[in-house]
Amino acid sequence: MIITGKAIPRRAVLRGVGATVALPFLDGMLPAFASQAESIARLSVVFAPNGVNVNKWTPATEGAGFQLSPTLEPLAPFRDRVVVLSGLDNSIGDPRPGEGETAPHERAGGVFLTSVHPQREGRVGISVDQIAARELGRRTQLASLELGLHSNDIAGQCEKSWSCAYIHTLSWRTPTTPLPVEYRPRAVFERLFGDNDSTDPAVRRARLQKDRSILDSVAEAAARLMRAVGPSDRARLGEYLEGMRDVERRIQRAEEQSSRELPAVDRPAGIPASFDEHATLMFDLQVLAFQTDLTRVITFMLGPEQSNRTYPEIGVPEVHHGLSHHQGDPEKLAKLAQIDTYHTKIFRYYLERLQATRDGDASLLDHLTILFGRSMSDSNEHLLQNLPILVAGGSNGRLKGGRHLRYPRGTPIANLYLTLLEDVGVPLDSFGDSTGRLEGL
């Protein structure tokens, strides 16, 4: 491999404190096939909860000369790398006759990346990131990463008879398998680079072999059990089997790449106390994951739907979800816009880091397709129409930025997903309730 020490600085410094360690076995500091680095397609989803103050989000003018809205103003330095999309709907998530108006946030979370009508027990569709991961994940150790800033321990904050998974995650590997979101930087780091095992190659190889034999044995046991239990229980054991096979695939890939140079990276320790520090650290980790080509698909939640986070650091001590039910109150709307703008600033940090990171002959930003959006527009009414969405990054030259596009009412956001999937090399005939590809993007 030729790009030694160039694809990534020898010592990639992460924010936060912690011991500096050499990366142990599950590393992948160099892209597996670095010669094709510039054509690697990657999908990144960044989500923020509770809709937006629509009036401050939507740019007043359209087309290439559009004027950034107050909420989007922090993105001025990246104006030409961003396409703002208006008028996209996810109406398939709206309650059907007889379903009642229950659980609007659960619905919004469930439908956001799937464009399939969510059932209360936790049955929806495969999410767009996971469709992408099926293809893009074939070459990487991890098919995808699901990250957030929230712990799942908020039982009781979702509607009782609804699956809380709709609040906690946006990613669905199958219509019934939600993927848990990790919020602890250290756990993300260890998932990427392994835990504390020895760095001695011989020890590592022996370790891999042992892991393999354990995997073989537990898979065998699971297969045996599947014959002993009823058909409805087989599916759950099947998930287990599938998960173990995934780990096996990963080990195989790690073995193929085991002779790589091992740079030193700061292992993050605790969970940063402030929103800002936590979010930026998680963005740092995402940049690192893309840079090392350990994964090509990441979904990141700045908060769960119905988030009750307060933002005293920007002068908003009220809870976010409460404010989002602004009921037209100008004061609440102003504070909501403050939060929205704060989220834009945090997102800008991500773009800055991506732009500053070399990837082959360009920057990571040039090679990424990034979706930044909310699952609702006006959370006061739980609207799934006219969603606040933007697409950023170079998409390997496929995305022309600096535009605001407005689509006719009723255009499904699934059309955008279909288009993005094609951009990252996963062309499908349809996705969710799509009616075709999005024109003009």
> Which residues between 275 and 304 bind another protein (CB under 8 A)?
none
* Least distance (Å) between residue 205 CB and another protein: 12
Binding mask 15-54 for another protein (x = CB under 8 A): --xxx-----------------------------------
In degrees, rounded to 5, the angle at the alpha carbon of residue 47 between the alpha carbons of residues 44 and 48 is 155
Asked if 237 touches another protein (CB under 8 A), the answer is yes
Strand-pair category, 368-373 with 42-47: parallel
**Which of the residues 106 through 145 are near another protein (CB under 8 A)?**
121-122, 143
**How deeply is 370 buried, as exposed, middle or buried, from its count of CB atoms within 10 A (0-12, 13-18, 19+)?**
buried
* Least distance (Å) between residue 83 CB and another protein: 30
- Residue pair 86/58 in contact (Cβ under 8 Å)? The answer is yes
Asked if 380 touches another protein (CB under 8 A), the answer is yes
Asked if 217 touches another protein (CB under 8 A), the answer is yes
* Closer by beta carbon to another protein, 381 or else 439: 381
Asked if 202 touches another protein (CB under 8 A), the answer is no
Of 4-12, 60-68, 225-233, 358-366, the segment contacting another protein by CB under 8 A is 225-233
Structure tokens at 27: 């590393």
Asked if 201 touches another protein (CB under 8 A), the answer is no
User: Rounded distance, CA 14 to CA 86, Å?
Assistant: 36
* Least distance (Å) between residue 370 CB and another protein: 22
* Least distance (Å) between residue 82 CB and another protein: 31
* Least distance (Å) between residue 406 CB and another protein: 24
Asked if 179 touches another protein (CB under 8 A), the answer is yes
Please compute, for residue 262, the number of CA atoms within 13 A of its CA located in the half-sphere on the CB side: 17
Identity of residue 245? R
* Least distance (Å) between residue 37 CB and another protein: 26
* Closer by beta carbon to another protein, 30 or else 237: 237
User: Rounded distance, CA 148 to CA 301, Å?
Assistant: 4
Asked if 103 touches another protein (CB under 8 A), the answer is yes
User: Rounded distance, CA 376 to CA 89, Å?
Assistant: 9
Number of residues that bind another protein (CB under 8 A): 89
- Residue pair 305/50 in contact (Cβ under 8 Å)? The answer is yes
**Which of the residues 297 through 336 are near another protein (CB under 8 A)?**
308-310, 312, 317-319, 322, 327-329
Strand-pair category, 172-174 with 316-319: unpaired
* Coil, helix or strand at residue 311: strand
**Among 192, 222, 289, 368, which residue interacts with another protein (rule: CB under 8 A)?**
222
User: Rounded distance, CA 3 to CA 82, Å?
Assistant: 30
Asked if 213 touches another protein (CB under 8 A), the answer is yes
Between the CA atoms of 426, 432, 434 and 438, what dihedral angle is there, to the nearest 10 degrees? -40
Asked if 381 touches another protein (CB under 8 A), the answer is yes
* Least distance (Å) between residue 187 CB and another protein: 7
Binding mask 240-269 for another protein (x = CB under 8 A): x-xxx-xx--x------------------x
* Least distance (Å) between residue 420 CB and another protein: 23
Separation in Å, CA 167 to CA 60, 155, 241, 301, 372: 32, 10, 26, 11, 18
- Residue pair 399/393 in contact (Cβ under 8 Å)? The answer is yes
Asked if 436 touches another protein (CB under 8 A), the answer is no
**Among 10, 138, 210, 409, which residue interacts with another protein (rule: CB under 8 A)?**
210
**Among 161, 252, 430, 435, which residue interacts with another protein (rule: CB under 8 A)?**
161
**How deeply is 236 buried, as exposed, middle or buried, from its count of CB atoms within 10 A (0-12, 13-18, 19+)?**
middle
Structure tokens at 154: 């908020």
Q: Which residues contact 33 (CB under 8 A, 6 or more apart)?
A: 139
Asked if 100 touches another protein (CB under 8 A), the answer is yes
* Closer by beta carbon to another protein, 115 or else 380: 380
Asked if 403 touches another protein (CB under 8 A), the answer is no
**What residue ranges in 41-111 does DSSP mark as E strands?**
42-47, 82-89
* Least distance (Å) between residue 305 CB and another protein: 14
